[in-house]
Chain A
Amino acid sequence: MEVFWRKRRSNNRTGSRWWLPLLPVVVFLAGWQLLSGVNLINPALFPPPTSIAGELVDLYSSGLPTRSLLLTHVMATLRRLIVAAAVGILSGTLVGALMGISRRLYRFLDPLITVLMPVPGIAMAPLFIVWLGFGDPTIIALGSIAAFFPLAYNTAAGVRSIDLQLVRAARMMGADKGTLLLDVYLPWAAGYVLVGIKLGLARCWRTIIAVEFIAAASWGLGYMIWDAAEYLRADVVYGGIFLLIAIYFVIEKGLINTLEKHTVERWGMVRRQ
């Protein structure tokens, strides 16, 4: 227990030990490979990482030169993600901004959002399948809804939280309603909107994968994983999960962190985690 309070002055040391986070992963994979190889764990249920990797490569190359099977699945999911995220984020931001400005609208919509937001997308899937059928429409609709809520909620919070002094200062300097919205409210709320985008994108992603388990007709990463599970292809399932992690990692690091860097961090409004 004594270790808890050792003063953390030398946090800079992490730079020199970049390999630490990789250690558990490497050990885990190596152990898995070993145990599966000598049949200490059932290789049908836990195929060794090498065969998983091999299967992924196979999936990638099958169907070429016209189109790679794996890539088709991934692309289907990403396409849905982009459309759903765009719709959800844009509509959510708009509604949230309006809620932020109009107290009446806020008081009307807030209880609805509060109660509807926690409903899991996958739970709504059967309903939407009845309404919109299998495939893209259902998946994208549910993805959009998933992204909408955090955006609306956070944007509203952001706009409402504005320091009135800033508004007063702007009006003093002659700003009109349009300028106020775009040049004062929106930049201020940008921090909140960004958090909303992070959350909204995450929820959209999770919902799309989940709904694909049930509602995808023939393409999609979720569909691929689910289909493999039904045929007890453990290697494809694990491979699929790996891809899920990798793709989301790229999305988050790439997209969102660049966004943050160029807006909110530059303005000193958010501390780096």
Chain B
Amino acid sequence: MKSNHSSVIEFLFPFLTVAALWELTVRLHLVGMEMLPPPSLLISKLWTLTVRGVLLHHLGSSLYRLTIGYVLAVGLGIAVGALLASRRTLREMFAPVLSMLISVPTIAWVPVLLITMGLGDRTVVTAIFLGGFFAITYNTMRGIEMVNPGQLNAARIMGVGGWRLFVEVLLPASLVSIITGLRLGIGYSWRALVGGEMLSALVEWGIGKMVYQARFWNDVLVMLIGLLIIGFSGFLLDRVLLKWLEQETVEKWGMLAKR
């Protein structure tokens, strides 16, 4: 059984290799430093920005927007999804519409929002909300649809009905799909955040904005740092936060299909 240490090292190894090769290529003047700053420069700039609090400000603004938009998407998404799942007619009516709305690149909503909601925060948060909402609603609806009727009947015969049946049986039983929806949703929301910040002129702070603004000074260094942070945050949000949720619930309960 591998120790935690060796699996962490194994995970980092490719990155270290790539970073080393990268550093080498630049130092050997194979690529210009303005085109592709080496990792060493990256780290020092990263440090400067962090110390000056600039990075934190950008990151904080982004996370603030993400939280508002995503939490709204989760709350409304699960509620609407459950509502649609409760009647076959509703399901048949809205499932195709929903899946078509999911196929729209989330960023495409931003121009509409810019025109109707202005160029500031509200647009970005709404885009984040829309990104998550459709995916969560759709997956919640499908999840509830697919619940084993035996489990519902088992609870019914014990006299459980109505709201209690929904919260204590229906929701846990559809958790696998709901979590899938949450993971898809956070991906779309995250991308909506970055894209929305880039496209909304009145937004000053935000990790997406940081990358976008760097273009005006051709500051590849800041762009790369921004990308690193975007990638890392996206990774944390999905693979760490939601994966943790998955592990503590459906994986523990053996509800995931065998890989």
Interface residues of A (CB under 8 A from B): 1-8, 14, 17, 20-21, 23-25, 45-46, 107-109, 111-112, 114-116, 118-120, 122-124, 126-127, 129-131, 161, 202, 205-206, 209-210, 213-214, 222, 225-226, 228-229, 232, 234, 237-238, 240-241, 244-245, 248-249, 252
Contacts and interface: CB of A to CB of B under 8 A. Distances in A.
Given A123-B227, A206-B105, A45 B115 contact: yes
Contact of A4 (B104, B170, B195, B215): B170
22 contacts: A1-B162, A2-B161, A5-B149, A21-B93, A24-B93, A24-B94, A109-B14, A111-B11, A111-B13, A112-B18, A115-B232, A118-B190, A118-B234, A119-B227, A120-B234, A130-B215, A209-B107, A210-B195, A229-B115, A240-B111, A241-B112, A252-B103
B29 interface: no
B100 interface: yes
Contacts of A120: 190-191, 194-195, 230, 234
A249 B103 contact: yes
A205 B94 contact: no
Contact of B235 (A114, A209, A238): A114
B86 A123 contact: no
B115 A245 contact: no
Interface stretch (B72-80, B216-224, B244-252): B216-224
Nearest to A227: B111
Interface string B84-103: 01111100111111001101
A18 to B, nearest CB: 9
B11 to A, nearest CB: 5
Contact of A5 (B153, B195, B231): B153
B163 interface: yes
A232 to B, nearest CB: 6
Contact of B223 (A109, A130, A241): A130
A229 B103 contact: no
Interface string B147-162: 1010011001000011
Contact of A115 (B85, B95, B105, B231): B231
Contacts of A123: 194-195, 198, 208, 211, 226-227, 230
A126 B15 CA distance: 23
A213 B24 CA distance: 35
Given A119-B230, A130-B223, A8 B111 contact: no
Contacts of B97: 21, 24-25
Interface of B: 10-15, 17-18, 35, 85-89, 92-97, 100-101, 103-112, 114-116, 144, 147, 149, 152-153, 156, 161-163, 165-166, 170, 187, 190-191, 194-195, 198-199, 208, 211-212, 214-215, 218, 220, 223-224, 226-227, 230-232, 234-235, 238-239, 259
Nearest to A249: B100
A130 B36 CA distance: 10
A245 B100 contact: yes
Contacts of A21: 92-97
Contact of B187 (A118, A209, A249): A118
Most buried by B among A3, A126, A129, A206: A126
Given A45-B115, A232-B115, 8 more contacts: A2-B161, A4-B86, A111-B14, A112-B14, A118-B238, A122-B107, A213-B199, A237-B112
Contact of A237 (B88, B115, B147): B115
A116 B224 CA distance: 13
Given A5-B153, A123-B230, A241 B108 contact: yes
A41 to B, nearest CB: 10
Contacts of B259: 161
A130 B220 contact: yes
Contacts of B115: 45, 229, 232, 234, 237
A202 B135 CA distance: 14
Nearest to B117: A45
Given A111-B15, A209-B108, A4 B208 contact: no
